[in-house]
Chain A
Amino acid sequence: MNTLFNTVNFWRYNSSPLTQFEIKDLISIDTPILGNLHISITNIGFYLTMGAFFLLIINLLSTNYNKLIGNSWSISQESLYATLHSIVVNQINPKNGQIYFPFIYALFIFILINNLIGMVPYSFASTSHFVLTFALSFTIVLGATILGFQKHGLEFFSLLVPAGCPLGLLPLLVLIEFISYLARNISLGLRLAANILSGHMLLHILAGFTYNIMTSGIIFFFLGLIPLAFIIAFSGLELGIAFIQAQVFVVLTSGYIKDALDLH
């Protein structure tokens, strides 16, 4: 109950565009046992669970009682499958890349669903959190590195040597390539979270301005319709970004896997 009041007060008094990204406990249990154990369901945890639930629903709808002719849901899944399959085939390898398709598909649909959940009013954008996106990106890059070592052994380090590089420049280029390889950890996660975060912040900042304009009087109310139209356009753009960022994420992941498999 206390949490509910806090939420109401939060919407009433908190107008900072960053407060929407705060991770809070929705339900928590503080027990005086096991060293004051704190068990909680946070808002990000709740929305990720919701995402998993939506995915389950979508997949159940798509099965369409295993009929030969699918419904609209299964057609959407099929087209998504075909799109991601072409990404995997083009980016990784038509022969050896197929094995990574389930991973790429799961990654795409997870990011897309969470991006879209963030687009629902009064909800929470899980993918705007660096803790989530960095967890994904670090895991992916680490996994790709392990894959590279498993496949090529120490020869994997040849990834850091650009083809046709003069011997004198080799130490410098290897250092640069190594830093660039490590930067993949950051860049992959940062790109997704920064896009979603900035989009939501922009919407809230513009909405704050527009709200202030529209509540200043009748004339201003009509004047406020102009920035409102812009915000609607930005919202449409955000919807596009939700798809594009999920696609970019999986394209880059496929590229990293390809690097680990083929070494340039």
Chain B
Amino acid sequence: MASRLARSALGAARLRPSIAPRALPALSTAIAARNSSGVPAQDPKSKAQSLIDALPGSNLLSKSAILSSFTGLSIYALSNEYYVVNEETVVAFCLLSVWAALIKFGGPAYKEWAEGQNRKILDILNSARADHTQAVKTRIEDVQQMSGVIDVTKSLFAVSKETAKLEAEAYELEQRTALAAEAKTVLDSWVRYESQVKQRQQKELAATIIAKVQKELENPKTLQQILQQSVADVEKIVSAKQ
């Protein structure tokens, strides 16, 4: 800005003969010194191209149209006092500078931070997904180990069937044994009972006979008869001996 103003002042001085070129010797030497300084200057062509690229529009025609219409509108607005440059313009410039700086410097920093946050969330989600996939894979592997479960189950079923059959047979035999034992017990008890009954009958018979004999012995007639019989017998024996 400063060099442009200085150059325009210099150009005006050259155009106007009333102002001698030597009136601005300091500026001339300053510009000359700047042009011949050892600082590597940017290629003017690329500099110009970058300036043209910075303008809005897609091609050179639209760029120049936009630029000229913007300039024309600015001049029209200023000359008709649609826009008045005053102290509010200074405030607007300052505030817009702050906003522009905020957008230019704070914007990328914020974007980077926000992307970092998003990446963090994304990483958490991705790791959760990976963990879940791993868990599912582990489960599948666990289940795969049990792939021969059908044959095992079949053999187990056959064993259990055989066991059940044997158990049934054992139960049947157990029942038979129990029945035989019970029958034996009943028969034994019958035998015991019968023997007891027999014993009692014999006892009763003996008692009856004894009682009858004793009763007979109480009868003198019987006693007389027995005595006579006995005497007869003795006599018979004696006679036989003789």
A12 and B81: CB pair below 8 A? yes
Q: Select the stretch in B38-46, B115-123, B163-171, B198-206 that faces chain A.
A: B115-123
Name the contact of A75 in the complex, choosing from B94, B97, B102, B118 (C-beta under 8 A). Answer: B118
Q: In chain B, residues 56-110, which have Cβ atoms closer than 8 Å to a Cβ of chain A?
A: 81, 84, 86-99, 101-102, 110
B114 at the interface (CB under 8 A from A): yes
B84 and A11: CB pair below 8 A? yes
Name the contact of A228 in the complex, choosing from B86, B94, B101 (C-beta under 8 A). Answer: B94
Counting residue pairs across A and B whose Cβ atoms lie within 8 Å, the total is: 81
A203 and B117: CB pair below 8 A? no
Contacts of A208 in B (CB 8 A): 87
B5 at the interface (CB under 8 A from A): yes
A235 and B94: CB pair below 8 A? yes
Given the known interface contacts A69-B122, A218-B5, A235-B98, the answer about A211 and B87 at a Cβ–Cβ threshold of 8 Å is yes
Chain A contact surface mostly: helix
Given the known interface contacts A68-B125, A72-B111, A75-B114, the answer about A120 and B88 at a Cβ–Cβ threshold of 8 Å is no
A12 and B98: CB pair below 8 A? no
Contacts of A235 in B (CB 8 A): 94-95, 97-98
- Cα(A211)–Cα(B89), bound, Å: 9
B26 at the interface (CB under 8 A from A): no
A207 and B2: CB pair below 8 A? no
Name the contact of A12 in the complex, choosing from B84, B102, B114, B122 (C-beta under 8 A). Answer: B84
B125 and A121: CB pair below 8 A? no
Q: In chain A, residues 200-245, which have Cβ atoms closer than 8 Å to a Cβ of chain B?
A: 203-204, 207-208, 210-212, 214, 218, 222, 228, 231-232, 234-236, 238-239
- Cα(A220)–Cα(B182), bound, Å: 137
Contacts of B94 in A (CB 8 A): 203, 207, 228, 231-232, 234-235
A119 at the interface (CB under 8 A from B): yes
Name the contact of B88 in the complex, choosing from A69, A79, A122 (C-beta under 8 A). Answer: A122
A70 at the interface (CB under 8 A from B): yes
Contacts of A204 in B (CB 8 A): 87-88, 91
- Cα(A232)–Cα(B89), bound, Å: 13
A76 at the interface (CB under 8 A from B): yes
B1 to chain A, nearest CB (A): 9
- Cα(A7)–Cα(B81), bound, Å: 13
A121 and B86: CB pair below 8 A? no
Q: Could you give, for residues 100-112 of chain A, a 1 whenever the CB lies within 8 Å of some chain B CB and a 0 otherwise? A: 0000000000000
B110 and A72: CB pair below 8 A? yes
Closest 7 CB pairs of A and B: A121-B92, A211-B87, A207-B90, A75-B114, A235-B98, A72-B114, A208-B87
A-B contact pairs, 26 of them (CB 8 A): A8-B84, A12-B86, A15-B86, A69-B121, A70-B118, A70-B121, A71-B114, A76-B110, A119-B95, A119-B98, A120-B95, A121-B88, A121-B95, A203-B91, A207-B87, A207-B88, A211-B87, A218-B5, A231-B91, A232-B94, A232-B98, A235-B98, A236-B98, A236-B101, A239-B98, A239-B102
Q: Which residues of A contact B (CB under 8 A)?
A: 8, 11-12, 15, 68-72, 75-76, 78-79, 119-122, 203-204, 207-208, 210-212, 214, 218, 222, 228, 231-232, 234-236, 238-239
